[in-house]
A and B are shown apart, each in its own frame.
Chain A
Amino acid sequence: MRHIPTVAWLSIAALVCALLFALFGGWLSDHAATQQNLLARMRPPLLFGGDLAFPLGTDRLGRDLLARMAEGLRISLLIALLGSVLGALFGCTLGFVAAHFRGWVEETIMMVVDIQASLPFILIALTLLAFFGNSFGLLIFLMAMFGWDSYARLSRGVVLSAKSQPWAEAVRTLGVRPVALYLRHVLPNVAGILIVQLTLNFPQIILLESALSFLGLGIQPPMTSLGQIMGDGRDYLSTSWWISVLPGLTIFLVSLAMCVLGDWLRDRLDPALQRVRQ
């Protein structure tokens, strides 16, 4: 086992904790995420004057923040995961197609990539959500649309350079079909780079979803997400800060851990950087 630096360990630990909390955090609470209790509105968290019944406090409807945060984190992670995986699949497919066909196919795809990259995405998302009303499906679609262009651009580049390697030419002269060449040879060789892109894209999607939900255009009640809980607490920031700050902190920590992990992975998997280190 090669040496893993402390920050990488810390971020892996943070992400595992976040995942466990998202999956099983609800069990820590006696209340359901949607259960209202108007007698226990805006209770502060433990250590800030609260009690064990609501360790992270309650919101304006007296819902238990611990249960809501677990639920919200689960939804946020789910959306980010689905969004980045779908975006990666879509972008990489287009990138591979562009690199294979070259010519006008490549030019068209790269043109679309450039257009996508120059659009103010959050405005497009707001418009689409406003027009079509929001649904979970549309939200996932938007998340997938966010960032596919970077996968397309990246995968086109790495595939082009892998394709011109002598080993790829050798495989071609063996009579192997192009699809097999890409899936069996090129993909394993460029997967590291794409995975790193995934880890860097993931936190951005969490942030985008949070922003949309904060604005009230993302996840709709009774479902919840971290951004939505934050948005919920917007009006009570001066009196009940914990409603916004706790989910905000969670978003921050998860995104940071993911970024640090991606950074470390890039150093690990990038052969050029590896050579420098040796």
Chain B
Amino acid sequence: MARSAPLLSVENLSIELPGVADRTHAVAGVSFSVAPGEILCIVGESGSGKSVMSLAIMGLLSRGLSVEGGKILFEGQDLLTMPPKARRDLAGRRIAMVFQEPIASLNPFYRVGEQVAEVFRLHTDMSKAEIRERVLELFSEVLLPEPELIYQRYPHQLSGGQCQRVMIAMALALEPAVLIADEPTTALDVTTQAQILDLIRDLRDRHGTAVVFITHDFGVVEEIADRVAVMQSGHLVEEGTKERIMNAPAHPYTRALLAAVPRLAPREVQANDKPPFLVAENLQKRWPERRIPALEDVSLSIRPGETIGLVGESGSGKSTLARAIIRLGTVDGGSIRLNGEDLVGKEGASLRALRRHIQMVFQDPYSALDPRQKIGSALTEGPMACGVPRREAEERVRDLISAVGLQPSALDRFPHEFSGGQRQRICIARALALRPDLLIADEALSALDVTMQAQVLELLGEMQARFGFAMLFITHDLRIASSLCDRICVMQRGRIIEEAEPRLLFAHSGHPYTQALLQAIPGADR
């Protein structure tokens, strides 16, 4: 496809960071352009400056950040030298933005239809009836089911995917020439993500909108991009067509990012005929105000040393099951037997005595460590609580901290001194300090960048080989599950609908939902 004249071009843009930051510029000398009807993906890890740049284009930079030099040209006009009022008008009408957290971007007190209608009230002189008509049209264009009904709903009554569709409808309301989408699918499920990507592609085809799509996921890039720009700590290191970047990346950083993308590669299953040590049977759980049960007749058994993947959309009951097994949540019925002892109904000291057998690594490494406790004390606390003498616990922890790839000096520091990936290593060490039989990882990788993901995944494998624990790995990413697990359980609406070895599951899955999940994997066709 021959490129037409660029619609939006950024020339040599530099944005300064305030003095305390670890580098001087959030964005340093970045240039790129996007033409009508083109989708440009900007890829990079968190902190690479991609979001700051999109905010600069919208004129939404927070105080403390300032543009040091460069130009942002829209249809030949420099946005940075325009009078503020003209710029606001332009930013509202011709350039629109979709954010990462759809629910947080909508006002919880107003009906979503009215929030979209407000855009028209502010920028046009259409009558009330015309506006309503137009909003309903937009809602059907972004494929919201029953637009009339959705119009009357409040944000909390919609799913994440539906909220993101409303946000996209709002962004498209005035038919902008440029749509900037900042990780619009990161907070969504794989299946919803696939639908939103379809929608954006489709809108581009019909309206010729130029799209700047910010993401950290090369799977998404594969699905949607025409051209790709790769950013690393404020610099644009490589730019080119999707085919060129994906097949022949020139910059080592791009190559590293691509290598870290998880692949759909079912692993060889190891023969394991040991009897299961953990058996959950017929678990039932209902939330008071919801029709769909959280857990419906769920049974699961885990053998020593094996890895089980638990996949499914959010709300399918994966976390409820994990929390029931580790007894952070309760169940309404059923039994969970650990080495023959029923965990359900155990309280107080008898429950604490069983705790050390099952440990968990949480999703968000930033909130999983007590901010006021030093790492050393956080790691020894578990072993000491179950009766290991202090000296032995300290020895164990020193050994573990180097096993997870950190310096022993880390023990004397506080959580905030570590990066997300390092914290997740600490959380893994904390869980392993108890020598558990089962490690539950609840979306333990989803808050991390791809390169971090790959490292932590490798670490989990090493630790499993060394300590021989079983693992229950919860994820919505089938690619990761396939490369790690001996068995994958697919959950939907509180039930395990399919349970099989990865290879069998991928080769001939019987269930349409599993097939839909497989279809939705970004970049799956490759």
Chain A residues whose C-beta falls within 8 Å of the C-beta of B356 in the assembled complex:
174-175
A175 touches B362 (CB 8 A): no
Number of interface residues of B (CB under 8 A): 27
Beta-carbon contacts under 8 Å, B335-368 to A:
352-353, 355-356, 358-360, 362-364, 367-368
CB atoms of B362 and A170 under 8 A apart: yes
Complex Cα distance A166/B381, Å?
16
Q: A169-B328, A185-B373 are in contact. Are A174 and B368 (CB under 8 A)?
A: no
Closest chain B residue to A188, Cβ basis: B372
Contact of A173 among B326, B364, B367, B371 (CB under 8 A): B326
Interface check A165, CB cutoff 8 A: yes
Bound-complex Cα distance A167 to B381 (A): 13
Chain A nearest CB, measured from B338 CB (Å): 14
User: A175 to chain B: which residues have CB within 8 Å?
Assistant: 352-353, 355-356, 382, 385-386, 434
- B278 at the A interface (CB under 8 A): no
Does A189 sit at the interface, judged by CB under 8 A?
A: yes
Known: A174-B382, A176-B382. A167 touches B369 (CB 8 A): yes
A12 and B372 CA atoms in complex are apart in Å by: 26
Whether A176 touches B367, Cβ cut-off 8 Å, given contacts A169-B328, A188-B372, is no
A275 shortest CB reach to chain B, Å:
12
B362 — nearest CB in chain A belongs to which residue?
A: A166
Across-interface contacts of A177 in B (CB, < 8 A)? 352, 385
Digitize A164-193: 1 where CB-to-B-CB distance is under 8 Å, 0 elsewhere: 011111111111110010001100110000
User: Which residues of A from 134 to 154 have beta carbons under 8 Å from B?
Assistant: none
* Closest chain A residue, CB of each to CB of B361: A170
A212 to nearest B CB, angstroms?
Answer: 39
Contacts A166-B367, A189-B372 given: A173-B355 contact, CB under 8 Å? yes
Q: Once bound together, how far apart are the Cα atoms of A172 and B356, in whole Å?
A: 11
| A165–B355 touching, CB < 8 Å | no
Given contacts A173-B328, A174-B434, contact A167 B382 (CB under 8 A): no
Number of A interface residues in the complex (CB < 8 A): 18
Contact check, B381 vs A174: say whether CB atoms are below 8 A apart: yes
B487 within 8 A of A: no
A180 B326 Cβ-Cβ under 8 A: no
B427 within 8 A of A: yes
With contact pairs A166-B362, A166-B364 given, residues A174 and B371 touching in the complex (Cβ less than 8 Å): no
Given known A-B contacts A175-B382, A185-B370, A189-B370, A170 and B355 have beta carbons under 8 A apart: no
Distance A168 CA – B427 CA, assembled complex (angstroms)? 13
* Chain A residues within an 8 Å CB radius of B372: 185, 188-189
For residue B320, give the distance in angstroms from its CB to the closest CB of chain A.
Answer: 14
Minimum distance in angstroms from A192 CB to a CB of chain B? 10
User: A167: which of B328, B371, B386, B434 is its contact (CB, 8 Å)?
Assistant: B371
Contact with B along A187-215 (1 / 0, CB 8 A): 01100000000000000000000000000
A199 to B368 CA separation, bound complex (whole angstroms): 31
In B369-390, the 8 Å CB interface with A consists of 369-373, 381-382, 385-386
> Of residues 200 to 234 in A, which have CB atoms within 8 Å of B's CB atoms?
none
Q: 12 A-B pairs, CB-CB below 8 angstroms?
A: A166-B362, A167-B368, A170-B368, A170-B427, A172-B328, A173-B327, A173-B359, A174-B355, A174-B430, A184-B373, A188-B372, A189-B372
- Identify 4 new A-B residue pairs, CB closer than 8 A, beyond the known A174-B381, A188-B372, A189-B371: A168-B370, A173-B327, A174-B356, A174-B434
